[in-house]
């Protein structure tokens, strides 16, 4: 069994600008760095972390860094933990996407699990790579507690898979807030969720965004 502590990255400059960030490598903003510190405090007080992973993108890496520094551990970056590739939508606002790709955006707004971002990935693609990534990490870390800093789209698809929720019902899984903490016990390809989207550690620093 592997215990996963899954943390969504803190509030980023892309979140602040209200854009589809996708795999654009934008940094955390001031609030995001404070959220990362708050998440680290909670994690260090409540868990013994053996290994730390993050996506390749700096907003996830910098969210994991306070825990890594406190424990003198390396953050292992993986490309397959990156956010959804939103293709041509990257860097665009909702209004800009609505003007250029109205049909695709309508699907994203009504049935996001069935989305295929123009020039990018589908949610089905993301689910496959996220499940595969966690399976590989688990195989290398049997019996350990592993922190993973990643992204909202990855977390939502991962949880939907583990909870056996089909893509067309992905909205049954709440969006992960910035720097929220989800804890699962993973074994034999399945996971029991013991904490989902926890944000109490953030107190007045809670933020919520509606784009990837």
Per-residue pLDDT of the chain (212 residues; tens, 9 = 90+): 999 999 999 999 999 999 999 999 999 999 999 999 999 999 999 999 999 999 999 999 999 999 999 999 999 999 999 999 999 999 999 999 999 999 999 999 999 999 999 999 999 999 999 999 999 999 999 999 999 999 999 999 999 999 999 999 999 999 999 999 999 999 988 899 999 999 999 998 888 776 66
Q: Are 15 and 208 in contact (CB under 8 A)?
A: no
- Among the options 3, 8, 9, 127, which is catalytic? 9
The phi, psi pair for 108, rounded to 5°, reads: -60, -40
What is the C-alpha separation between 49 and 54, in angstroms, rounded?
14
Residue-wise pLDDT for 49-96, tens only, equals 999 999 999 999 999 999 999 999 999 999 999 999 999 999 999 999
The phi, psi pair for 111, rounded to 5°, reads: -140, 70
116 included as an active-site residue: no
What is the C-alpha separation between 140 and 194, in angstroms, rounded?
22
* Residue 189 pLDDT: 86
144 by Cβ neighbours in 10 Å (0-12 / 13-18 / 19+) ranks as middle
* Residue 56 pLDDT: 98
201 included as an active-site residue: no
Q: How far is CA 140 from the centre of its chain?
A: 21
- Among the options 59, 127, 129, 151, which is catalytic? 151
- 185 strand-pairing partners: 3, 192
Please spell the DSSP secondary structure of 101-166, one letter per residue.
-HHHHHHHHH-GGG-B-TTS-BHHHHHHHHHHHHHHHHHHSTT-EEEEEE-HHHHHHHHHHHTT--
Identify the structural domains of the chain with CATH numbers, from first to last.
2-83+126-205 (3.40.50.1240)
């Amino acid at each position: 069994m592997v215990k996963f502590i899954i943390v969504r990255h803190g509030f980023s400059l892309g979140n602040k600008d209200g854009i589809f960030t996708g795999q654009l490598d934008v940094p955390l903003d001031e609030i995001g760095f404070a959220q990362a510190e708050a998440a680290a405090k909670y994690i260090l007080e409540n868990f013994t972390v053996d290994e730390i992973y993050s996506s390749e993108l700096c907003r996830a890496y910098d969210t994991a860094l306070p825990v890594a520094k406190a424990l003198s551990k390396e953050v292992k970056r993986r490309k397959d933990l990156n956010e959804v590739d939103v293709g041509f939508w990257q860097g665009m606002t909702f209004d800009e996407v609505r003007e250029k790709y109205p049909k695709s955006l309508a699907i994203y707004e009504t049935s996001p699990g069935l989305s295929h971002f123009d020039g990018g990935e589908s949610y089905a693609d993301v689910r496959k790579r996220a499940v595969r990534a966690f399976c590989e990490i688990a195989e290398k870390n049997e019996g350990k507690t592993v922190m993973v800093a990643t992204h909202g789209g990855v977390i939502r698809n991962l949880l939907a898979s583990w909870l056996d929720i089909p893509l067309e019902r992905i909205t049954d899984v709440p969006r992960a807030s910035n720097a929220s903490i989800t804890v699962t016990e993973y074994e034999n390809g399945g996971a029991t969720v013991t904490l989902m989207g926890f944000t109490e550690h953030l107190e007045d620093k809670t933020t919520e965004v509606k784009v990837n």
